[in-house]
Amino acid sequence: MKTETASSSNKWKSHNLLQLEKKHVLVLAFPFSSHPGVLLNLVVKLAHAAPNVDFSFLSTQSTNQALFSNPEIPLNIRPFNISDGIPDGHVLPSDHPVERVNLFLKSSLSIFQKGIEIAVAETGHAATCVFNDAFVACAKQLAEELHVPWIPIWSPLSCALYAHMYTGQINEHFMDNVHNEKNTIDFISGLSSMRREDLPDAALSGSGEQLFFKTLHEMGKDITKATALVMNFYDELNPPEFSEDIKSKFRSVLNVGFFNLSLPLPPLPPSDTDQTGCLTWLDKQSSKSVVYLSFGNVVTPPNNEILAMADALEESGIPFLWSIKDNVKDMLPKGFLDRTSTQGKLVPWAPQTQILAHKSIAVFVTHCGCNSVFESLTNGVPLICRPFFGDHGMTGRMVQDVWKIGIIIEGRVFSKKGLLKSLNLILAQEEGKKLRENGLALKKIVEAAASSDGSATRDFKTLVQMIT
């Protein structure tokens, strides 16, 4: 360890002799799931706002190839490939991401040190800021070695951060109250609406055995030392007690709005430009009549839940648009596709932001991923939530009990009876009408926050000033 520290010290000494007049932001991505894309969306906005700043985007080759195939990315963002941490010859036992994540995290400090050395050498400019996905817990140490500001970004649900900041307290509370039926998190300011079952596994297992859980635990302990914390959120959506509490714990909290969206939303493109055929199909449906189902790129519901959803949709007779992977179609009931050919449309991928903006959509059945919920919220579309992992449970609780713009599926798993009941509530009951009204009210709130004199715009300008 001493040798590595000395090497790092010498490396950064030479770093400090490089040109300092050019601002050079090191962007450290967590190269899994939607994290790199969400981070890049924010960096693109910053690059447009600060054209004289260079951004070096450090991620794995596979994610960089996918992200930087877009020709519209500003020229002052440059990708640098880093190792994925998988040793040569190592055979992964399955496609499950946990081992990939753990292998990456195990070597993440040295991986990013090497990437930074290359980025600094090739740009010819010393780093002036470390800007990272908060899941890259080694960023604090890297910023300290470079003697530059450290600005982590938190892309999941804002209050989910507290699940990792207070992991020890949460575990201690529930161990001391193991026989107490009360399972609310009202002992932590800002989480009073949450319940034990809403929390991520990483928060309920303490530091746990998995390196990923340990990393999140360490991140939660260190993150308050950051120069600033950037949130993929609007402060107006936070419970007031959470907003007040988190601002008291950080030097600066910047709620710059949803990274993946620009408000107000642009008008829908001509339907015939959508190669999936979704918009053309939706044009033929009645206003607020269609159920849209999608569970993102990572989640695949269990076979029994796929069957339950299919049975419920068929019995309901409600028009539906289902984004379902081709390999998952094999799980559908025999004859389902033929029997529902005039009722629904199934596609392997759907242009979700455009679909949720279409007037025909009545409700969104979702896994509660943040990006999906944010896209639905900005269109005022009610949600039926089936949480799976991570911050899904906390997001679902916000949807149902704080924002009141949707519901969590009965029993937190899909059953034919439960989905039919949920669809009836939202599409035919007075409560469903109220959920839609709440959604439209929230849409107006975030649009105001995103306006030229709104809170998110002010926080974004502050962030631009910090990096320039």
Cβ-contact 357, 282 below 8 angstroms:
no
Q: 242 phi and psi, to 5 degrees?
A: -70, -45
Q: Which of 15, 54, 133, 358 is catalytic?
A: 133
Q: Which residues pair with 150 in a beta bridge?
A: 130
Tokens linked to 319: 């028009």
Catalytic residue among 15, 24, 35, 125: 35
Tokens coding 334: 């025999």
Question: What one-character-per-residue DSSP string does 343-382 give?
Answer: TEEEESS--HHHHHTSTTEEEEEE---HHHHHHHHTTT--
> What burial letters (b/e) apply to 330-342, b meaning 16+ CB within 10 Å?
ebbeeebeeebee
- For residues 344 and 323, the answer to whether their CB atoms sit within 8 Å is no
Q: Which helix (H) or strand (E) holds 39?
A: helix 35-49
| Cα distances (Å, whole numbers) of residue 361 to 274, 427, 434 | 17, 11, 16
Integer CA distances (angstroms), 56 to 23, 45, 123, 128, in order:
11, 14, 9, 11
Tokens coding 282: 């939706």
The beta-strand segments (E) located in 243-312 are 253-255, 290-294
Structure tokens at 176: 């001391």
Phi, psi of 25 (to 5 degrees): -95, 125
Q: Are 375 and 261 in contact (CB under 8 A)?
A: yes
Token pair 């309901």 in the structure block, residue: 316
Q: Which SS3 state, helix, strand or coil, does residue 366 take?
A: strand
In the annotation, is 35 catalytic?
yes
Number of other residues whose CB lies within 10 A of the CB of residue 14: 12
Smallest CA-to-CA distance from 263 within 421, 29, 61, 446 is with 446
Rg (CA), the chain: 23
User: So which residues are the catalytic ones?
Assistant: 35, 133
